[in-house]
Every structure is written in C-alpha cells, then in structure tokens.
Chains A and B, each alone.
Chain A
C-alpha cells in the first residue's frame, strides 16, 4: 500500500503522539489530549473562523457501493457488454426510457441514475447535488477494513480520524452543547481520537428518567465515583479513557432529554429504517441548536458479491439499500429546508466494485466509486476528475483491467469541504490531512 508524502513535520508529530499513546496503552483518550495539547502539536494555527453555525454530516456507505450501477454510463455500449441488461439476465441498468427499471437520465451527461435513487434526482436538476463518479485513492488494498481506515484516518497510519483531528485543530466558533456526535451505536473511525466524541442512536430511548425518585441519588453517586482520580482507582492502562466516558455520557443523555422528540418539518418523509430514523434524529439535533458541527452516520449492506440486481422489477440487494440511502438524504434535506444553507452532507464508500459482473450476478471489490455532496454552497454536477471518465469501459481503460480507476483523490474532496465549508486555514488543513498536497476539486461555488 502506498502512502505518499508521509514525511512532513506535522505528520511526524502526529505519528510520535500516536506512538506515545500506544506505548501508554491508551486508545482514544482525552488523557492523551491533555498530555499533548493540540497547540503543542500545531503551533500558530490562529484562524479567522468561518465555521460558526456550520454543520458537516458524513455518511459512510460501508461495504463498498457499486458506483457504476449508481451513476450509470448508459451511453457506453461496453457497459452493457460487461453488465448485460437486466432484461437479458444481467445487472445492467436499462437506458432511460426503456420501461420498468430504466435509469433516470442526467441530461447532457451520458449518465443516468439508478432508478432507486430517484429521490435525489430533483437535487441534481436544481444544481444542488454534486456527484463524484470515481472517488478513491491510489494504493487501495481492496480490503473493506483497511480501505475504510485509510479514508477515515485520512492516511492509514494516522490512528485518529480526520474529523477528530479537525475538532482538535479548529476551535468551535461559539459555545456548543454537542459539537460532534456519531449517530449510531459505534463511533465512526473518522470521529475517533484524542477528542472524546459521543455516539448515540434511537434518541427517544436515550434517557434515565424512568429511574424516577432514584435518579438524583444515582446520578450523584455516579458522578462522585467517576470523579475519582483514575490513576488511583483504576488498574487499567486506559482507565482515564473509561473515566472520561462517564460524565460525558450523563451530560449527553441530559442534552438529548432536553430537546424532546423529533418532529420532521416541511413534509419530510423519512424511510422507516434505522438509517431513516438516524437521519431524522440528526436533523432534529441540528435544528435544536445544540451547536452540532460534525456528525457521522453509517449505512451498511453494500457488499453485493451476489444477487446485486438492477432496477424496477429486477431490483435486488443494491436497489433497496440505494432507496434507503437516497430517501434518508432527501428527507433530511427537505426537513432542514433553508437550514441546509449551513449544512453540507458528504457521502463516502471505501471502494467501488469490479466492472464486470461475476457469475453470481454480483460484483467483487473494486476501486473508484461514487461519492455525493449536497448543501451549503456545493455546486451541483458530475465530477470525473482531471483524467475524465473512460471513453469506453474496455479492459485497457480500467485499473488492472478490472476496476474503475480512482480519478478524484478523496483527500481533495475532504480539502474542498474543510476549506470551503468550514473555512479552514492552510495550517488547519495541514493539521487535519498532514502531508497531503491539496489540489482543489472545485466542488463548491
């Protein structure tokens, strides 16, 4: 696996911190932040903040979404060679206007949307939806887990997530009750690191109010016990991490109890799924003014090695996931309405899939795939990168003869979001993506 440009001083400092943390047996701990405050790591990163009131949502499609059947090059005859039409037993998305299961034309581009992401079509038409058709990076191992780590860390070797480094490098513009949150039962690796970030899901259940008359005493006991010095009460090398979690958890539960139940606005209709519920809760948190600046949401089920299916009556594994994905995003955009001017939503996936379908009507691990952006000042359109989309999907135009070549470097997408949505300075960008030479994609107006 190639990891370029790993020799800048900022990178080495972070690496050293990582090594020290690991030597101390620590994982993601506030303790480490205290040992190595970020102004020690990144001196002179004073900035003119433009992150006031801004929110970034990062949705991760875990499993490797097949970009080629999401944004479909239907005008390339070779596409139907490697993926025969669904009416001929393959997984090829039918050209627009071919009846049931046809793609949705993106006029003048030669591409069509998978019919199951129809909910996103109006956003594209209104120039609000940016679609990167071949996002990725050189040196993918095509392992779900390694490639997710690479994307979420920014560089595989950096043990902290890129969003966590952002939280450490850039101060909040004002007071915030909940600056960052992982929506889900897990903290996405992009949000793990020196800054403690809570995770939460199913907000309606996040409450201790049922304790009734016992609540005051139990909260008080809990805080008193957690307030003890971990050095003298814990045998665990990561004891301080565990001790930091307790009050953080109680405080976040109180914040969530304080905003009441979600109430979608503007006629937004969320899918009745975990992802739909999490997007609904997320919009509720954003609207409630807790100061949410960075959030992650996961959506799984993209590892379509078999029975991937196509559109309409040929729908199978991928179509349902796409409908959930697109429906949840569209509902959040509708729900937040004009608030979306201050919110950017970015979607990632670790890789695309083999261009040629396999014999079990699925696709195996590939390279470049589709990423989406919407909100803020995102400039709608298709982005194929400087190298452009291949004129034909013949083997000679593919990476290793099998995969869509990654033509838009994912760190540049992050760079666009950081500089154009949050207004990060050069020094701050370097702190988040140390050693990366940023080359703008131009995703924002």
Chain B
C-alpha cells in the first residue's frame, strides 16, 4: 500500500526524521494553521503539482476556498479525499535518497543523489544517481551507504548519513517495500528536512504490523482497497465511477485482463474485483456485498460474473449465487454468468431448476459479447 504523503511523514517523524509541520484535512473546513503555507492533495500518485493539487495559501482568508478546490480534484483517476497543509521550507537545495528492493537479486538498493526534484525519472537525472546494493539486513545496508558517501560533496555526507541512520532501521521495522525522499532539502548550515516522501508498505505484512493496521482502520476512506482487504480478505477497486460494466470476478490476473479487454472494446468497467471464491466457505455474504457495490454504480448497465472453477466446484457456487441475487433486490442490470470448469453440468441443472432468468454462458468470449450487447441495449431502451 502506498502511504499518503501525510501518513508517510508522520511515520518518518516518529522515526526521528525531520519533516515540515503539517496537518491533515479531510473535509472543506476552515483550518487554523500558520500562513503562508502549502496545501497538498493527498493521493498515492505523482504529478500532483501539474494537476493543480499543490497550491500556496497566503493567509487565513484563502484557506477554505483552496481546500475546497483541492478536494474537488481527481488526479490520475484518484479522487482527492484529503489535503495536507504544510509549513513552508526556507530556501534550500534539493537532494535525493531512496531505499528499495532489487527484486531480481533479492538485495536492498540504496540510491542517493546531490540533486533531487520532480525530474528524477529523467535519463539525465537517473545517470547521476549513486547506488549500492546490500544483503537485506541493517548492517550491510548501512555499510553500503558508506561506500557511496565519498562520491558526494562533503557538505552532503553528514545529512545523508543522518537520514540513512533513521531510514534504514525504519525500512526493516515497518517492512517497507520502498522509501523515497525526494526532495530531501539540504539547508544552508548543514541542516536538512524532508520535502516529499513516498513510502510503500507490504500488505502481506499487515498481520504483524499493528501500527500500519491501525492507520488503515482509522482512515478506511483514504485507503479503501487496503481497508477492504484487511477487513474482508478480498480485492475490489473502483476504477471508473461512470463505468457501464460491473464485474464480479475471481482471480487478479484474469480480472485485470477482463478490464483491459472491455476497455479495448470501447466500454468502461466500473471496477476491478478478485472475489476469491475459495474464501466463501459456503457463505454468500461476499457475493451480496460485491453485487450491491456494482449495481449501485450510477451508470452500470450490465454485469459480468466470471468463475473459472479450476479447484472449486460450480455446483457449490451456483446455489450461493442464487441466494446472493435474492438478497440484492435493487439489482436492475442484466447479468451474464460465465462459468466453466468443475461441476458445470450439475451447476447448469441447478440454475435451470431455479427459474432464475440470469443468463449462463460457458464461453468467455460469448459472455463478454453478451454483456456488452446488454449494456448497449440498455442505452437505447
């Protein structure tokens, strides 16, 4: 999970890393803070500045309108649900520090540079990055950093060493996947402070990371996907509020592929979903939940349910689907149920005997055709 900047900075601050004073705002309200200050949209993607998500507030009279403006934005498909007001940082130079994995070699990679900023991804800037790999443990990582310092200007060595001494332990303690400080402001006189911070944590480690778990539980609206996964054990990502196709699907890869193919064919999937039939254990509540979500999409016109029963049994799944459908009476869209694999014949029989008008199809291509045709028809009905 990508932490929002505000929470990343709170984590850094607890670890003794200096960050500008800031406050999180989740609704349009008049906030008391020091002015002038910056207002920054809290979304888990870059490019906030260009999208108008980072604005300066000069005095108290501008607070409300600035926050309202930022909270009304959608940045790279992420609706802005929170904003951080942050104290200004005095004149400083920008450096760069990051810790990440090298997934291929299984090592930790430390990257530092005397220059940072928004252009860090450019080839010229990347060429200037100093990097070292280390075995995934604290001591080798700290030693690897030392090998890089002689290549830096003397004035930068102290700050980098201080930053590393705090971030490397944090990386292991919180089981981070990425910590990137960019820019790291180097102040005249040798001080330093974090400008922006990106921390990617490991959802799989949440069972043994109580603080990160508590953060998600406190802010389910800001981390909806992680909150769902934590509370209910499956994935659902709303992709397009205006989407016309709802998906009730299992398997991350197949669900992603279906989203891609529906877009290729000129439609807009409302969501991504990996419902994990293996976790049903005879209980239809997860199906009911997902059917309610997709049917409530304001523009959803047809629903595709897709189940490839490789290790499950369709004859056990279909009765659950029938119960789930009864429990979502508000559902008005046509549904195509694509199912294939173990127990198909028995499942078909159960469905036919139920008299439910849901359309069953065993071929995926025909199922997609049918759903898109239903969506089209709805448009002209």
- State yes or no: do A and B come from one complex: no
